[in-house]
Amino acid sequence: MKKDDTLIKIRDLTVTYHTRQGLVSAVDHISFNVKRGEILGLVGESGCGKSTMGKALMRMIPPPATITAEEYLFDGMDVMSFNDDQLRDFRGRRISMIFQDPLTSLNPVQRVDEHIMEAIQVHEKKTTTSNALRRAKKLIGRLGIKEDRLASYPHQLSGGMRQRVMIGLGLVLNASLIVADEATTSLDVIVEAKLVDQLREIRDEFGVAILAISHNIALVAQLADRVAVMYAGHLVEMGQASEVFHDPLHPYTRGLMKSVPNIKVDELVELYKMGGEPPNLAHPPEGCRFHPRCPNAMPICGQIQPWITQKSSGHVVECWLYQDDLPKDGMQE
């Protein structure tokens, strides 16, 4: 029997924070799948729920915040039913995370080899120190880092090397998914380009899926196989990267695309700036959450939340512009 190519299946995922202003749904009833070995880009402005989504996949949402889902299956396992011991094994062995600044994630008094060996021995208690060191040397070489760097401390490494060490910590236990949360933000453009190439190479060599979270839509266009666009806690568009970037459907996606500088044009073109800002999620607007900023807004947009519509195979959008039948109720001019 052929193995199902769906690694993650999410249905109706919601993450709610309890704040002084009230309940804030940073991720609001989102559904999507992640395929084995694919790179899925998750884009949107700051505050749209991208990082919360990444942490939710790892069940790293601390109380008093709450995470609920009708279904969250990871390789067929019900992640929402995991106890603390199962979650500890799940994080690292099945799913790993690369944060924006690895210097704050790596222990400053541990050498590179100690980081990797500890990750192995925590999850594989019968592994000897010599075997763990051998695996660390082999992995670090495959990531393009010289073996003598194993004796270095995090502050002695460049930003790009630290990110590769973080990638190594995710790969050493053969994780099926790496969540890269703004992993290139602290890097210069040359190192960033090299890391993008290396993430593709890692996917091809190890068969690992990657969730690439970024506000940089141009970078995601180079990296991802599929793209999901988030706005104010909602998934507003999702599809193959080639479709989303060449034929963006949602007005928000189009605004993000127009905001990317085009260095190929001969004449000077004024950079597009999308008006307004994401809403306060403690008091979100009625209807479509993007309608106060939307150049295509209709009366219904401010009154009823649109539902997800499929426009082509795998390309979906949450927008009234693509609904065949608009509801008659609540459409007062």
What pLDDT is stored for residue 287 in this prediction?
A: 95
pLDDT tens string, the chain, 333 residues long: the values are 346 799 999 999 999 999 888 899 999 999 999 999 999 999 999 889 999 999 999 999 988 899 999 999 999 999 999 999 999 889 988 998 887 777 777 888 999 999 989 888 888 878 888 998 888 888 888 888 888 888 999 899 888 888 888 888 888 888 899 998 887 776 777 778 888 888 898 899 889 999 999 988 888 988 999 999 999 999 999 999 999 999 999 999 999 998 877 666 556 667 778 888 999 999 999 999 999 999 999 999 999 999 888 887 789 999 999 987 666 554 443
Domains of the chain, with CATH numbers?
Answer: 6-94+175-322 (3.40.50.300)
Q: Are 267 and 37 in contact (CB under 8 A)?
A: no
Give CA angle at 176 (175, 178), nearest 5°.
75
Q: Which helix (H) or strand (E) holds 96?
A: strand 95-98
pTM: 0.89
What pLDDT is stored for residue 271 in this prediction?
A: 74
Q: Where are the alpha helices (DSSP H) in the chain?
A: 50-57, 84-93, 102-105, 112-123, 129-142, 159-171, 189-206, 217-223, 241-246, 251-258
